[in-house]
Amino acid sequence: MIEIRLACARGEIAGLRSGNPDGAKILALHGWLDNAASFVPLLPHLQDFDVVALDLPGHGASGHRLPGYDYVFVDWIHDVLDVLDALGWSRAHLLGHSMGGAIATMVAASTPERVDKLALIEALGPISGKAEEAGARLRQAVKARRALDPDRPQRVIDSIDSAVDARLKATAMSRDTARLIVERNLRAVAGGYVWRSDPRMVLPTHVRTDEAFVRSWLRAIEAPTLVIAADPTPPYFTPDMRSGRVSELRDGRAVVMTGSHHLHMEQAQTVAAVVHDFLA
């Protein structure tokens, strides 16, 4: 497993590379506030493949968006395409977890010629929104964005354990799982550590697309698609939503496993076996 740095249009993107350089290509995209380390438990089980796990912009060791700009969903698509270009990969399998799965979905819908197969964990398309909530969401997002002070000093965290404690308050997962993600998302400073992730990542989104649009995007996907879902499900990806979205795919299927939202980390061997068989 090696560290990589790629010069892309909107800044440097970092990641981890592992496996067989001559194997089929996999680009792995992590979830919100995670980073490339979230795929570390899977990597020993995918050694037949040439795997690059990214730190998406604003996460881990990657650069942040320029001051004054936002993290707009369509830009994630171009980040992924820029990475494929920088790697010299004309096509690849996409492996995505949560937010990374939503991004992978949109890449497959928009540029089918770049995607061989699509393996998604706890995702299929972006989170949709209700039209009647759009006005309130827009006001909330603009207010939060205008209130953000880019010059405010970051709070210093006294230890890695304290940072892990903070992450566990936000996300239910094992302590070892949280530590993998947290360690890659910390920068050492005098007196302790600060988060490397961009504070703009925690701002509410300005727009959530109507479900009908998401279903139309799914119908545009040409790649064979596997969805691995955890049981119990998160409230934004219910069984009914999952089955309804899968039914829109030309070639799609879902596998449900008992586990948490980060089941690819906590049940890595089981998840990797399903992914390996699908991609191989």
191: left (phi over 0), alpha (psi -120 to 50) or beta: left
Mean pLDDT of 88-112: 98
Average pLDDT, the chain: 96
pLDDT of residue 133: 96
Q: Which residues 6+ apart lie within 8 Å of 147 measured at CB?
A: none
**pLDDT above 90 for 26:** yes
| Residue linked to tokens 């990214």 | 54
Give the pLDDT score at 66. 94
pLDDT at position 150, please?
86
Say what the pLDDT of residue 185 is.
Answer: 97
Give residue 48's pLDDT: 96
What is the pLDDT, as a whole number, of residue 39? Answer: 98
Instruction: Give me the CATH topology for the region 2-279.
Output: Rossmann fold (3.40.50)
Instruction: Give dist(CA 12, CA 104) in Å, integer.
Output: 19
pLDDT for position 204: 94
Read off the pLDDT of residues 43-58 as tens digits, 9 standing for 90 and up: 999 999 999 999 999 9
For the chain, which residues make up each domain, given as ranges? Answer: 2-279
Residue 84 has pLDDT above 90, yes or no: yes
**Which residues carry out catalysis?**
98
User: Tens digit of pLDDT for each residue in 135-181?
Assistant: 999 999 999 999 999 888 999 999 999 999 999 998 889 999 999 99
- Per-residue pLDDT tens over the stretch 220-270: 999 999 999 999 998 889 999 999 999 999 999 999 999 999 999 999 999
pLDDT in tens, 104-115: 999 999 999 999
Three-class SS state of 256: strand
Question: pLDDT tens digits for 172-225?
Answer: 899 999 999 999 999 999 999 999 999 999 999 999 999 999 999 999 999 999
pLDDT 10s digits, 124-145: 999 999 999 999 999 999 999 9
Alpha helices in the chain (DSSP H): 73-87, 99-110, 134-147, 160-170, 175-184, 211-219, 239-246, 263-266, 268-279
What is the reported pLDDT for 151? 87
pLDDT at residue 22 in the model: 97
